[in-house]
Amino acid sequence: MTRILTIEDDAVTAREIVAELSSHGLEVDWVDNGREGLERAVSGNYDLITLDRMLPELDGLAIVTTLRTMGVATPILMISALSDVDERVRGLRAGGDDYLTKPFATDEMAARVEVLLRRQNTVTAQATTLRVADLELNLISHEASRNGELLTLLPTEYKLLEFLMRNTGQILSRMMIFEEVWGYHFDPGTNLIDVHIGRLRKKIDPPGNAPLIRTVRGSGYVIAEPV
């Protein structure tokens, strides 16, 4: 079973994180201070750590730095009340794998955790082709085909599809998509990503075929085998 360590000093927030992650079938341990958090992170065999940036006793940034210098490579999702752009860069530079600022939506947090967990697995897999139902994406030739028919994708559409397919079955929020595909970290407005997804949909889900990209209301998008 996948084990998560949540280091968070606010009890209510922590309870929500635990509840949300548990509902995704993950086993979550909660620690409310930095010192104990670091101990558990080092000794316990966790698959992922969600780490509050500001903690009593030992600061979140210090924990990441310490873990990385000790050679602990557990993926870390940093959750911070410091939304400063530079703060984000600092957190990622120190060794955080993703950075989420408060206030955040728990479903978005869970989605990021899932993506991080999955990323670890796919790195080992080293696949050259991604496949969802009859949709195929060749990671080397950058070609996509549905049902054997070649699809012409623009570079951005290819990136978008690759991100979706690397996380097949996983809900991806608009923010995550924008960050991953375009590399920016601001709120471009919800409909912009929707429009880009719409374009991609038209190409990979032509009428007559079962749609692969699904909209999850209020959360984002997911690509999955049709049910």
Partner 1 sequence: MSLPNPSKGWRSSSSRLLALYSALFVAWSGILMGVMYYEVSAYLDNLAKHSLMQRQHLFSRFQGEQLVDALAVSMTFDIRGIDAYGLFDSHQRYLSGALRFIPDGLPLDGKIHMLSDCTDSDDPTLPTDSCDAVATQTRDGRWLVLVRDNGSLFAVTRIILHALFWGVTMTILPGIVGWHLLRRRPLRRIRAIQARAEAIVAGDLTKRLPLSNRRDELDMLAAIVNAMLERIERLMNEVKGVCDNIAHDLRTPLTRLRAQLYRMQQQAGEGSAEAAQLDLVLGEADTLMARFRGLLRISELEDRQRRSGFVQLDPVALLQELHEFYLPLAEDDGLVFQLHLPASLPPLKGDRALLFEAIANLLSNSIKFTPPGGAVILRGVNQGGHTRIEVLDSGPGIPEAEREAVFQRFYRAEAGNQKSGFGLGLSIVAAIVSLHGFTLELGRSELGGARLVLDCRQSLMTPT
Among residues 39, 57, 84, 149, the one that binds partner 1 under rule CB under 8 A: 84
Asked whether the CA dihedral 192, 115, 93, 18 is positive or negative, the reply is positive
Give min distance, CB of 218 to partner 1, in A.
6
CA distances from 179 to 46, 79, 186, 217 (A): 26, 16, 8, 20
**How many Cβ atoms sit within 10 Å of the Cβ of residue 107?**
17
Choices 10-18, 63-71, 132-140, 141-149; region in contact with partner 1 by CB under 8 A? 10-18
- Quick one: CA dihedral 195, 201, 202, 207, positive or negative? negative
Instruction: Say whether residue 118 binds partner 1 (CB under 8 A).
Output: no
User: Tokens representing 8?
Assistant: 């968070």
In the region spanning residues 17 to 36, those forming contacts with partner 1, defined by CB under 8 A, are 17, 19-20, 23
- Residue 201 touching partner 1 (CB under 8 A): no
Instruction: Give the binding site for partner 1 (CB under 8 A).
Output: 10, 12-13, 16-17, 19-20, 23, 81, 83-86, 101-107, 154, 156, 182, 184-189, 191-192, 195-196, 198-199, 217-218
